[in-house]
Structure 1
Amino acid sequence: MPPGASPPASAEAWTWENAAAGAAAGFATVATLHPLDVVRTRFQVSGGRGCYDLPPYRNTAHAVYTIARSEGLRGLYAGFYPAVLGSTVSWGLYFFFYNRAKQRYLQGKDDQLRPVHHLVSAAEAGALVCLFTNPIWLVKTRLQLQTPSHHTSRYSGFSDALRTILKEEGWLALYRGIGPGLLLVTHGAIQFTAYEELRKALIFAKSRQTRTDNRSCDDSLNSIDYAALGAGSKQRPGSDGTPKYKDSWHVVKETARHEGVRGFYRGITSNLLKNLPAASLTFVVYENVIKLFKAAKEKT
């Protein structure tokens, strides 16, 4: 559905198709870029106050090489199953909630959503997804921090980690880090607002060049367009199972005290290397799956 356009007659069906396309996009992104996520996670906890027993990494390339050499492919894809589950569920729910919110704001309006509507819709979707998926991301992070030399609180896999955390720490442990997660919703909201506005501008520019209406130009957008739009829109506990920090504010204070400003930017290189292509890939897969659904509907 073009941004700002009226929802189709079968709006509810399209919402579910948005969810399916989002899930496919989430799966493709994780399957392709998971090793960089592992590197980012390990950089973020290395050199701090926790005893994570991680080898020293000089940079992203050295981290990838070291993990591959000492742990093999299994190490580069540590926490892969919860990451796939989390990303597939997250993006599926995100696009579902996001499009439902946009349809709600479209009611009574003149077929045009303003940037503030995209911002609020994305923030609303992000908050709901965060509440649903925080336990999955917590388990994924713990699995990514396990190395061959890390023998304490060893988890054999996703289900074992989930059972162990629930048994030893209670269900509230699954929601550690929910505060920062909800704060990061603003990042996704800004990204989606930028994507919608850039997409709208590109469709308008193409319609002027070809002298056709916006809907026809929307159908003419290709994977390169979606990749460029996606990239352009994107510019924990200790190893003994006990919390390393009391709360989010404690994390900020202790990181600043012991590591300085540099501590807040650990893993930024691998994060940038992951996020720009991830944003492009997510929207390329999403938009192309939506096109497949649209083509299938037109044939029937």
Structure 2
Amino acid sequence: MDFVAGAIGGVCGVAVGYPLDTVKVKIQTEPKYRGIWHCVWDTYRQERVRGFYRGLSLPVCTVSLVSSVSFGTYRHCLAHICRFRYGSPDAKPAKTDITLSGFASGLVRVFLTSPTEVAKVRLQTQTQQRRPSASWPSAAPPLCPAPPSRSVSGPKYRGPLHCLATVAREEGLRGLYKGSSALLLRDGHSFATYFLSYTLLCEQLTPTGHSQPDVWGVLVAGGCAGVLAWAVATPMDVIKSRLQADGQGQRRYRGLLHCVVTSVREQGPRVLFKGLTLNCCRAFPVNMVVFVAYEAVLRLVRSLST
């Protein structure tokens, strides 16, 4: 049931946080944006609301599987560690046990998420210009007729599946796993932080005489856990986004280390924390929803089985 509960929680989370994720990726990969509101306004001006949901269909289709694997791997690793160390899978785990299980959960999900992350980032950073409005005519007619304009080519990627097929054809299998080294470094320690902080906060927020927190406790613990996880994940998230976006035109980065050195040299150390505020603002409501849905499903199943 941990796999089912994780899947439901993941879908709820992506529905809440995707527009801010699009803004985050644009800020991290495109230097032209001066800040969050500049990116929001520019995206809305050029593409309207639809621009914030580019590449959504693939994450929605895959997030249930990825979230299911994340939560299921965490619970099963924790049970096996407790059985090995304490003789029972239901024994209370130590902080080290929780950290190791969370780290394993982060590593496993990389193999599933890397291709979808590549498609998501490519679609999010693929800008489509709006046609100029006809409601504001020019002040004076042109002195001579303008030459016929050439037809503007459409976007390179027509959707998530077309994007994956194009990347695989042009860049090979390695293209689908571009940035996976940064993704490994991002998800390993961030998921260790995620599950450890959630467990510790739940313990602190559990009322005296109860075995688990109420709904408000889960909301607060889930939101704070998400913020802490993204706080430690943002530097590698920036590098991951840049490596995955690199491939639309001339390539700039030869690998993870070259991307880090080039980004810091050109934009300073602060570039590694681009999108940190947005990540934290997005993480709180998203992970509130994820953990509330996750815990609600588990509690419902337990009540039905007793």
TM-score by length of 1: 0.81
Q: 1:71 aligns with which of 38, 42, 47?
A: 47
Aligned to 1:165: 167
Structure with bigger gyration radius: 2
Aligned to 1:44: 28
Would you say 1:134 and 2:89 are equivalent positions? Answer: no
Which amino acid in structure 1 is aligned with residue 220 of structure 2? A
Aligned to 2:195: 192
Question: Does the Cα contact within 8 Å between 1:122 and 1:188 map onto a contact in 2?
Answer: yes
Aligned to 1:148: 128
- CA–CA separation in structure 1 for the residues paired with 2:50 and 2:116: 19
- Residue 290 of structure 1 and its aligned partner are, at CA, apart by 1.4
Question: Does the Cα contact within 8 Å between 1:166 and 1:173 map onto a contact in 2?
Answer: yes
- CA–CA separation in structure 1 for the residues paired with 2:118 and 2:286: 20
- Residue 73 of structure 1 and its aligned partner are, at CA, apart by 2.1
Would you say 1:95 and 2:95 are equivalent positions? Answer: no
Q: 1:176-235 CA distances to partner (integer Å, 9 max, x unpaired)?
A: 1111111111011112111112222333xx23xxxx3x5xx32xx332111111122232
Structure 1 segment 118-133 matched on structure 2, within 5 A: 118-133=98-113
- CA–CA separation in structure 1 for the residues paired with 2:248 and 2:104: 36
Aligned to 1:183: 185
- CA–CA separation in structure 1 for the residues paired with 2:291 and 2:67: 11
Alpha-carbon spacing, 1:277–1:37, altered in 2? closer, same or farther (3 Å): same
Aligned to 2:219: 227
- Residue 75 of structure 1 and its aligned partner are, at CA, apart by 0.4
Q: 1:279 aligns with which of 277, 287, 304?
A: 287
- CA–CA separation in structure 2 for the residues paired with 1:193 and 1:152: 46
What fraction of aligned residue pairs are identical, expressed as a percent?
Answer: 26
Which amino acid in structure 1 is aligned with residue 286 of structure 2? A
- Residue 115 of structure 1 and its aligned partner are, at CA, apart by 0.4
- Residue 101 of structure 1 and its aligned partner are, at CA, apart by 0.4
Aligned to 2:266: 258
- Residue 239 of structure 1 and its aligned partner are, at CA, apart by 5.7
Partner secondary structure for residue 107 of structure 1: helix
Alpha-carbon spacing, 1:34–1:178, altered in 2? closer, same or farther (3 Å): same
- CA–CA separation in structure 1 for the residues paired with 2:201 and 2:301: 23
Larger displacement relative to structure 2 (286-295 or 137-146):
286-295
- CA–CA separation in structure 2 for the residues paired with 1:240 and 1:123: 32
Aligned to 1:107: 83
- CA–CA separation in structure 2 for the residues paired with 1:141 and 1:154: 13
Aligned to 1:18: 2
Structure 1 segment 207-246 matched on structure 2, within 5 A: 207=208, 212=209, 214=210, 217-218=211-212, 221-233=213-225, 234-235=227-228, 236=243, 237-238=245-246, 240-241=248-249, 243-246=251-254
- CA–CA separation in structure 2 for the residues paired with 1:71 and 1:152: 14
Question: Does the Cα contact within 8 Å between 2:10 and 2:63 map onto a contact in 1?
Answer: yes
- Residue 98 of structure 1 and its aligned partner are, at CA, apart by 0.6
- CA–CA separation in structure 1 for the residues paired with 2:6 and 2:109: 13
Partner secondary structure for residue 63 of structure 2: helix
Question: Does the Cα contact within 8 Å between 1:123 and 1:188 map onto a contact in 2?
Answer: yes
Which amino acid in structure 2 is aligned with residue 67 of structure 1? T
Question: Does the Cα contact within 8 Å between 1:86 and 1:137 map onto a contact in 2?
Answer: no
Which amino acid in structure 2 is aligned with residue 172 of structure 1? R
Alpha-carbon spacing, 1:173–1:222, altered in 2? closer, same or farther (3 Å): same
Larger displacement relative to structure 2 (180-189 or 67-76):
67-76
Alpha-carbon spacing, 1:254–1:292, altered in 2? closer, same or farther (3 Å): same
Alpha-carbon spacing, 1:178–1:152, altered in 2? closer, same or farther (3 Å): farther
Alpha-carbon spacing, 1:255–1:83, altered in 2? closer, same or farther (3 Å): same
